[in-house]
Structure 1
Amino acid sequence: MIDHVEHALPDYRILPPDVAARMEQIKKRDYVLEIDRVTKVFTQKRNRTVALDSIEFGVHRRELVCVVGPSGCGKSTLIRILAGLEDATEGRILMDGKPVRGPGSDRGMVFQKYTLFPWLDVCRNVMFGIEMGGVDRLEAQRQAMQWLQMIGLEQFATAYPHQLSGGMQQRVAIARALAASPRVLLMDESFSALDAQTRTKMQNYLMEIWRKIDITIVFITHDLDEAIYLADRILVLKPHPGQVEEVIEVPLSRPRRAEQMTSAEFLATKAHLEGLIRSFGASDDMDEDEVTIDLPLLTLVTDQVE
């Protein structure tokens, strides 16, 4: 008989030397984006819901931060406040030390749903943000084609959004957001509508673009694998009200590779995150793993499946 020995996962908080050195370099950089004691309260008639409670966090220049948490933790509310699409009830958002007052060209946004203008072709979609910045059409077209070359879609410049796959549409959406030269790219579950294979490709596209240009990324996701694979740090929010539970420094070297997703460091980080999410409880007070449904017997069952 072979003895099966369970090997304990490493401590997710212990960073390999190269990762620790890189994290120290990141921390020496200035904050580009600061969340300063932000609280958001929604009031409807006599009902008062605290969506976010005293959130405090800073994002360093050229950092990639993912935000995770269960439903009801305020992830999407937070990113709308960062984008200037909603106001905080209390606290403030700072960009390069200056208060954010509404949307601005210093922040680009890529949404979960496809948001390309259907009446414009791919090139004109990317040109839109550039022209809004006052650039003339010929120069905007030149810059747009450069972005399309970067994302590998220059041959689709004259195609319309409905002629593209979901992954291609999101690549164009990223190019459109970045073409306006923002300091920070905000992404609200931008890959969640994609199939698994396309999603992995998009994650790699994003990291390759991030590596090539001076951009800071805040990425909202409910996918723990995605958060660990992409992020330098992960901001974990707990629900009701949304508060910071923990900030995790991801113990993976860069550049990221698919094989890292089976490493002990990756699995240890994921196990810890899963434990945190479970500890918060399901948002509807029901554990999905324990759901049982009473169904009528429709056929004669002769073999048991479990």
Structure 2
Amino acid sequence: MNPTDVKLPDYRTQVPAVAARFQKLKQRPVVLEVERLGRQFAASDGGVITALKDINFQVHRREFLTVIGPSGCGKSTLIRLVAGLDHPTSGRMLLDGQEVRGPGPDRGMVFQGYTLFPWLTVTENIMFGLKLRGHSESKARREALQWVDLVGLTRCKDQYPVQLSGGMKQRAAIARALANGPRILLMDEPFGALDAQTRAQMQAHLMEIWRNVDVTILFITHDLDEAILLADRILVLKPHPGEVQELIEVPVSRPREVGRFHCPEFLATRQHLDDLIHPPVSVEADPLPIVRLTAVGDDVE
């Protein structure tokens, strides 16, 4: 049967095991609390541009929360605010009850671009933050090698970033961020620059790491399938300005794999997200000008 022929249930339909998992999730301590968060920027005409408006949500311990929304809705602005790399215009963020006022070791950050130091090996990159925290050379190396093993880079531990593939670089970046023991790992479209096959591998690696490490993950993505595959819940933002449109509990049971892309719960959630992100428009698009760049008579069907 073609997946598109499946009669989709309501996306909220959950098997009992999934409903029980969310009950347990809600009983865990709140790690991150975002209250009435807003961010405005000065416009060139003297006005203001509102990137985020009245954002409210909570993230529980060991939860995997993905954030999606149309281009320009403020996803990256949100994660930069949580990281302490930017400051809100209004509202506040509480991490373990303490207000976020700047960067700190309680938050690890993984960007889409490869941010490894090119002059350091994989192991030395992971050691960098540990040494800043006061670890001795030998202790930092021991701990770094444990993280190298966890992310499956043992054979590459003495290689430099230029010698690594894109997926390997991101695994090393994840290990470096986790080595400092953050309460929450912030990931801004970390797999966006990878090819489809490597991206699928990295998604599997990340889920395996998350299962084995006591860390909460806030993950920005524009890929709806990726959001459903990874998340416990999905925060959907509206565009211009970014506001919370919906907070969705993903009804797909774990463990998840690519084969789950075609189960009814996945497809129903995917359709619902697509309706939110890409609502039907009534205004017709302007017709494109037709410019003939081939010889007359060279038509194609």
- Cα distance in 1 between the residues matched to 2:94 and 2:185: 15
Per-residue deviation, 1:295:
2.6
- 1:167-206 to 2 correspondences below 5 Å: 167-206=167-206
- Contact conserved, 1:109 with 1:187, CA < 8 A, in 2? yes
Counting matched residue pairs gives: 297
- Structure 2 vs 1, CA of residues 288 and 221 (structure 1 numbering), >3 Å: closer, same or farther? farther
Q: Does 1:35 align with 2:31?
A: no
- Structure 2 vs 1, CA of residues 16 and 302 (structure 1 numbering), >3 Å: closer, same or farther? same
The AA in structure 2 aligned to 1:298 is T
- Contact conserved, 1:53 with 1:242, CA < 8 A, in 2? yes
Show the counterpart of 1:10.
Answer: 9
Per-residue deviation, 1:301:
4.3
- Structure 2 vs 1, CA of residues 85 and 251 (structure 1 numbering), >3 Å: closer, same or farther? same
- Contact conserved, 2:83 with 2:107, CA < 8 A, in 1? yes
- Cα distance in 1 between the residues matched to 2:54 and 2:206: 30
- Cα distance in 1 between the residues matched to 2:101 and 2:115: 23
- Structure 2 vs 1, CA of residues 254 and 6 (structure 1 numbering), >3 Å: closer, same or farther? closer
Per-residue deviation, 1:287:
9.4
Show the counterpart of 1:149.
Answer: 149
- Cα distance in 2 between the residues matched to 1:59 and 1:162: 36
- Cα distance in 1 between the residues matched to 2:164 and 2:128: 18
- Cα distance in 1 between the residues matched to 2:6 and 2:100: 48
Per-residue CA deviation, residues 151-177 of structure 1 (Å, 9 max, x unaligned), is 111111111000000000000000000
Please say which of residues 51-60 and 295-304 is displaced more in the overlay.
295-304
Q: Does 1:298 align with 2:294?
A: yes
Q: TM-score, normalised by structure 1?
A: 0.93
Per-residue deviation, 1:192:
0.2
- 1:278-293 to 2 correspondences below 5 Å: 278-279=278-279, 292=288
- Cα distance in 2 between the residues matched to 1:137 and 1:287: 63
SS of the equivalent of 2:279 reads helix
The AA in structure 2 aligned to 1:299 is A
Per-residue CA deviation, residues 181-217 of structure 1 (Å, 9 max, x unaligned), is 0010000000000000000000010000000010000
Q: Does 1:254 align with 2:254?
A: yes
Per-residue deviation, 1:255:
1.1
- Cα distance in 2 between the residues matched to 1:104 and 1:287: 47
- Structure 2 vs 1, CA of residues 148 and 241 (structure 1 numbering), >3 Å: closer, same or farther? same
- Cα distance in 2 between the residues matched to 1:188 and 1:41: 20
Q: Does 1:124 align with 2:124?
A: yes
Show the counterpart of 1:158.
Answer: 158
- Contact conserved, 1:238 with 1:280, CA < 8 A, in 2? no
- Structure 2 vs 1, CA of residues 56 and 6 (structure 1 numbering), >3 Å: closer, same or farther? same
Among all aligned residue pairs of Structure 1 and Structure 2, give the percentage whose two residues are the same amino acid.
57
- Cα distance in 1 between the residues matched to 2:284 and 2:111: 27
- Contact conserved, 2:79 with 2:188, CA < 8 A, in 1? yes
- Cα distance in 1 between the residues matched to 2:238 and 2:215: 28
- Cα distance in 1 between the residues matched to 2:249 and 2:147: 31
- Contact conserved, 2:167 with 2:202, CA < 8 A, in 1? yes
- Cα distance in 2 between the residues matched to 1:178 and 1:231: 19
- Cα distance in 1 between the residues matched to 2:108 and 2:49: 28
- Cα distance in 1 between the residues matched to 2:134 and 2:153: 25
- 1:35-114 to 2 correspondences below 5 Å: 35-45=34-44, 46-114=46-114
Unaligned runs of 5+ in 2: none
Per-residue deviation, 1:47:
2.5
- Structure 2 vs 1, CA of residues 131 and 29 (structure 1 numbering), >3 Å: closer, same or farther? same
Per-residue deviation, 1:236:
0.1
Q: Does 1:209 align with 2:205?
A: no
Per-residue deviation, 1:44:
3.6
Q: TM-score, normalised by structure 2?
A: 0.94
Per-residue deviation, 1:300:
3.7
Per-residue deviation, 1:293:
5.3
- Structure 2 vs 1, CA of residues 185 and 291 (structure 1 numbering), >3 Å: closer, same or farther? farther
